[in-house]
Amino acid sequence: MLTVDSVAPGWEPVRDAFVANLASGQDRGAGVAVMHRGRLVVDLMGGHRDKHGDVPYGPDALQVVFSTTKGVTALAVAMCVERGLLDYGERVAAYWPEFAANGKDNITVAELMGHRAGLYTVDGPISLEEALDWDTVTSRLAATAPLFEPGSTHGYHALTYGWLAGELVRRASGMPIGEFVQRNIAGPLGVEFWIGLPAEHDHRVAHLMAHPLPVFPPEIARFMLDHSGPGSLGEKALSLNGAFGQGVFNRPEVRAAQIPGANGIGNARALATIYAATIGEVNGVRLITEETRRLAATSVTPEGEPDVILGHPTVFGKGYMLDSTRNNYGGPGGFGHDGAGGSVACAVPSRGLAVSYVMNTMMTTYDGDPRREAYINAAVRCADAA
């Protein structure tokens, strides 16, 4: 069942949760990793990575992590801020002049990163082929008028966040976001994480599968339909006006494109290592200073403000989601991002803790995914007892 099983003494409860989820079928192929004070204390992989159950989810498995990618993109922006290439308080149009069109000239980098720009989709229809072309999407976004008054509220830019933030990185650094991540994040840490997967690694990617849709109470089912069903704002944001339909992230051309809000590919070990290197050193590498980390992980969301896309309150820093009653990232000060179907990566600076979970079996839930909740909660208990 387990193909990678490395657990330091005292961290066995994380393994217990992982084994239980595999045994129950909640997970069919997955990985969990925990870093504590710069040390890898949990590294687990198990199950199978194909839909038939024939190929083990082993050390070479790679996983699409959907919006968990957003945390890595937020880090790339934070690194540009630390280097003086970007400023959260500056107007986006100062770096990207075309962005000023149609009333967007005063939107700041912080507002864009906090989902306050009103650009949760593009204006008009767009095909998948068009959506896989960087210049097409970014030019469409630059030409789109805000869909709500910028800065007045926030609404989850489920896919567009990645192109918006990624274009800022490109304008500031001169590198596409995928290259920036390789040169400045994955490369220095010696981990495998890509935005835009090279073709030679595509055969290693685990096939995405879905759990049967659970039966929700009628009031919850109605809420979910209203906010993510056909014709809803959520459907427009989550699919980019229908360009990204069901199952497209199993397609090689989608994995090869650069979609920095949704198609990051790697493993749990890589993500936990990346987050650990934002709160301390990992093998002599620290990616951002404590000052930059605090700046990036400070809320830009007014307390209790509902997300106009998701329909319930969410709390954002500059790209990161923050620990809240809705999102468990390990306690006060925790930050990170989760992804469609269950994946997550986060860090808790006060505990010196970074946790990541990736999986090929997507679960639809209303509250937090019970699998990632189990891993984060077990890791917190172990860290506190260490």
37: left (phi over 0), alpha (psi -120 to 50) or beta: left
Burial group, residue 291, by CB count within 10 angstroms (0-12, 13-18, 19+): exposed
- Contact between 137 and 122 under an 8 Å Cβ cutoff? The reply is yes
- Contact between 308 and 154 under an 8 Å Cβ cutoff? The reply is yes
The structure's pTM equals 0.96
Q: Which CATH architecture has domain 61-369?
A: 3-Layer(aba) Sandwich (3.40)
Helix (H, G, I), strand (E, B) or coil at 245: coil
The residues near 231 (Cβ < 8 Å, ≥ 6 apart) are: none
Q: How far apart (Å, rounded) are the C-alpha atoms in residues 44 and 25?
A: 16
Q: What tokens does 29 get?
A: 């192929």
Q: What is the pLDDT along the chain (386 residues), one digit of tens a residue?
A: 899 999 999 999 999 999 999 999 999 999 999 999 999 999 999 999 999 999 999 999 999 999 999 999 999 999 999 999 999 999 999 999 999 999 999 999 999 999 999 999 999 999 999 999 999 999 999 999 999 999 999 999 999 999 999 999 999 999 999 999 999 999 999 999 999 999 999 999 999 998 776 665 776 556 556 667 778 888 899 899 999 988 899 999 999 999 999 999 999 999 999 999 999 999 999 999 999 999 999 999 999 999 999 988 999 999 999 999 889 999 999 999 999 999 999 999 999 999 999 999 998 776 779 999 999 999 999 999 99
Read off the DSSP letter of residue 8. Answer: -
CA count, 13 A, side-chain hemisphere, 73: 37
- Contact between 195 and 258 under an 8 Å Cβ cutoff? The reply is yes
Q: How far apart (Å, rounded) are the C-alpha atoms in residues 182 and 174?
A: 14
The total number of residues shown for the chain amounts to 386
- Contact between 137 and 119 under an 8 Å Cβ cutoff? The reply is no
**Domain range annotation of the chain:** 61-369
